[in-house]
Amino acid sequence: MAGVTQTLTVLIEQLTLGWLAHAAMDSCYENNGGCGENAVCSHESGTFAVVCKCQVGYINSGSDSTLSCIDSCKRDNGGCQPGAVCSHDPVTFAVVCGCPDGFVNSGCGADSKCVDVCEVRNGGCDPNAACSHGGSNNAVVCTCKKGYTPVASGSVTICVQATTTLAPGTQKAFLKDAHMGSMNPGFQTGQCPSSPDGPYGWHLLLQGTSTSFVSISCLFKSAGVVTSMIQTPSNKHAYVFTPTADTLLDAWAVVQGPDTEFVLSHVCNPGS
C-alpha cells in the first residue's frame, strides 16, 4: 500500500508541475498571443500584458484592440510618393520606394520624387535632340530635331546641324567603343592640367602622329554635353572637365588628319 501511495504522489507532483509549466508559458507561444498573422507578439514591461505590433513592412488596417496587419504597400502606396513603386527589401522587408521605367528620382534619399526622365537634363539626350519614350520598358528615345542629324555611333545620339560642312582636310572621329561608359573615378588615372570647369579631368588622345583635334563634343551622364577642351602639349591631346564624378557615355570630334578614332587615355580626380 505504501508503494501505491508513493506512486500516486509522484504522479500528482508530475501533473502539478506540468500544469504549472503550462500556466507559466509565455502567451506569445500559443497562437501568437492572439495577435494574428504578420504581427509580432510581445509584452508590456510593467503588466506583462500582451502587446501586438505589425511586422516590418506591414501596417495595421484594423483597430488598436483588433490588429489586422496588411502589406504596407497596399495602403497609401506604403508612404511612397505618387508615381513611385512601393516594394520591400528582400532581407528586412522594409518598404523601398523606387521609380518606374522612364522616371528618375529627383528627391533626396528615401524620399522618392519620381519625374519623367526626359525632364532631367533632357533624359541624357543631346541638347539638339527631343527626348521621348518607347518600347515596353518605356526606355528613353533621342531624336534629332529638325535641321540636325545624328553623327555618333552606338546607343547615344549626338546631333549636329545637318547643313554643317567640314573644312577641307578635316573629318569626323569617334571615341573608341570600348571606352564608352568609362567612369571617373573608375578608369585608370594620370595627370591633367587645371581647369575652371571642374576637378574631374578626361584625357582624350588621337593615337596617330599626324592627326589633331579641331573641336570635340563629349556626352556625360550627369554633365550632359561638354565641348570646352584644353589642348596640351599638342593638338592630338584634348582634356575635358566635369564638375563632379561622372560617366563618359560617348564622344565625337572634328579632326585634321587621317584618324577616325580616338581613345580615353586616362582620367584625373581629386583622389588621384
Q: Which residue has the higher pLDDT, 189 or 172?
A: 189
Contact 132, 118 (CB under 8 A): yes
- Which amino acid type is present at position 140? V
Proportion of the chain above pLDDT 90, given as a percent: 44
For residue 169, what are the CA distances in angstroms to 81, 114, 165, 254, 255? Answer: 56, 48, 12, 10, 9
Backbone angles phi, psi at 61, to 5 degrees: -105, 5
* pLDDT reading at 248 higher than 70: yes
**Residue 4: predicted pLDDT:** 47
- Which amino acid type is present at position 223? A
The lowest-confidence range among 23-27, 58-62, 114-118, 257-261 is 23-27
**Residue 11: predicted pLDDT:** 44
What is the rounded average pLDDT of the residues 14-20? 39
Q: Is 16 helix (H, G, I), strand (E, B) or coil?
A: helix
* pLDDT reading at 21 higher than 80: no
**Residue 113: predicted pLDDT:** 81
Proportion of the chain above pLDDT 70, given as a percent: 86
Q: Which residue has the higher pLDDT, 105 or 95?
A: 95
Where does the pLDDT of residue 233 fall: very low under 50, low under 70, confident under 90, or very high at 90 and above?
Answer: very high
For residue 251, what are the contacts with CB-CB under 8 A and spacing of at least 6?
152, 174, 175, 204, 216, 217, 218, 219, 262
For residue 143, what are the CA distances in angstroms to 112, 150, 155, 179, 242? Answer: 29, 8, 12, 23, 25
Q: Is 105 helix (H, G, I), strand (E, B) or coil?
A: strand
**Residue 163: predicted pLDDT:** 60
* pLDDT reading at 254 higher than 50: yes
Contact 150, 141 (CB under 8 A): no
* pLDDT reading at 168 higher than 60: yes
> What pLDDT digit, counting tens, does each position of 51-85 carry?
999 999 999 988 877 889 999 999 999 988 888 89
**Residue 16: predicted pLDDT:** 38
Please give the DSSP secondary-structure letter assigned to residue 17: H
Residue written as grid cell 602639349 = 233
Contact 213, 265 (CB under 8 A): no
Q: Which residue has the higher pLDDT, 222 or 155?
A: 222
- Which amino acid type is present at position 196? P
* pLDDT reading at 250 higher than 90: no
What is the rounded average pLDDT of the residues 225-251? 94
- Which amino acid type is present at position 113? K
Residue 129's Cβ-count burial label (10 Å; 0-12, 13-18, 19+) is buried
For the whole prediction, is pTM greater than 0.85?
A: no
Report which secondary-structure segment, H or E, holds 103.
strand 103-105
Q: Which residue has the higher pLDDT, 242 or 16?
A: 242
